[in-house]
Structure 1
Amino acid sequence: MAALSAVALLVTGCAGRPADPQPTPEPTSTVRLGTVARAEVGARLTVTATVDRVITGTAFVVRDVDFTDGTLLVLSTGKATAEPPQLVTVVGTVIDFSYRDLSDRYQLGPSGAYRDFEGGPALAAEDVTVWD
């Protein structure tokens, strides 16, 4: 009986001791920043992605999970022959998109197609490779 009392005392004594305080984890972002979100305006960038839609012969949208909103506007001074859902590799420079400032240079056509991109990043293409 004395042994049983000693065991009971040991078990309750151990169970009553509070656990050491644990440090709180550092807060981490749950949003994954995409390639373009990390790139500064003026940075050279190479992107391989799927053509989502063609707006004009010099402007098209690519889609990839690494982009902040899933899509990226690509502008080219030469005609791009890419069509959805082709894969393209684009080498260019990250710019801030402004329809008013860029419409003449890139022959953008009507402004309505560009509303979602206004003020955001775009890629001014220097080279576009279309993969079959």
Structure 2
Amino acid sequence: MRLVALSAAILLVAGCAGEPDPQPSPEPASTVRLGTVASAELGARLTVTATVDRVIAGTAFVVRDVDFTDGRLLVLSVGKTTAEPPQLVTVVGTVVDFSYRDLSGRYQLGPSDAYRDFEGGRALVAEDVTVWD
């Protein structure tokens, strides 16, 4: 009986000492942090590169990218920009809470209906806009 138990123990140890079974490789993880603008602190400086989705006014346009909450971001600028859909732009700016009432005069936003979806969300006030050809 001792011989059987000893043989079983040797087989068990020998089986454990071999190469481990290959483990499946982990699923690739996305490097995109969704909601970067939404999680940024108010007043934070941010640089984004994205595609122009639509122009609302000469001083306001919407960019689209997977990194934004809802996939889009309102960009405001004191000066008029030349960006048009579907151009790629890089915007350096400051994160603000969007309030049409508070910002419409300064940025000459035009009619409020175009901004309804952005009310109470985040926007980026552009300090510099680079339009890529």
Unaligned runs of 5+ in 1: 1-31
Secondary structure at the aligned position of 1:69 is classed as helix
Moved over 4 A (4+): none
Cα shift at 1:76: 0.1
Aligned partner of 2:103 in structure 1 is: 102
In structure 2, the residue corresponding to 1:115 is in which secondary structure? helix
8 Å contact kept, 2:45–2:93: yes
Is the Cα contact below 8 Å between 2:51 and 2:65 reproduced in 1?
Answer: yes
Counterpart position of 1:59: 60
Task: Please report the TM-score for the alignment, with normalisation by the length of structure 1.
Answer: 0.75
Root-mean-square deviation over aligned CA pairs:
0.8
What letter is aligned with 1:58? Answer: T
1:128 and 1:52 map into 2 onto residues whose CA distance is: 15
Structure 2: gaps spanning 5 or more residues: 1-32
Match of 1:36 in 2: 37
Which residue matches 1:130?
A: 131
- Partners of 1:65 and 1:88 lie apart in 2 by 15
* Equivalent position amino acid for 2:52 in 1: V
1:127, distance to aligned residue in structure 2 (A): 0.2
**1:27-50 deviation line (CA, Å, top 9, x unaligned):** xxxxx6321122111100000000
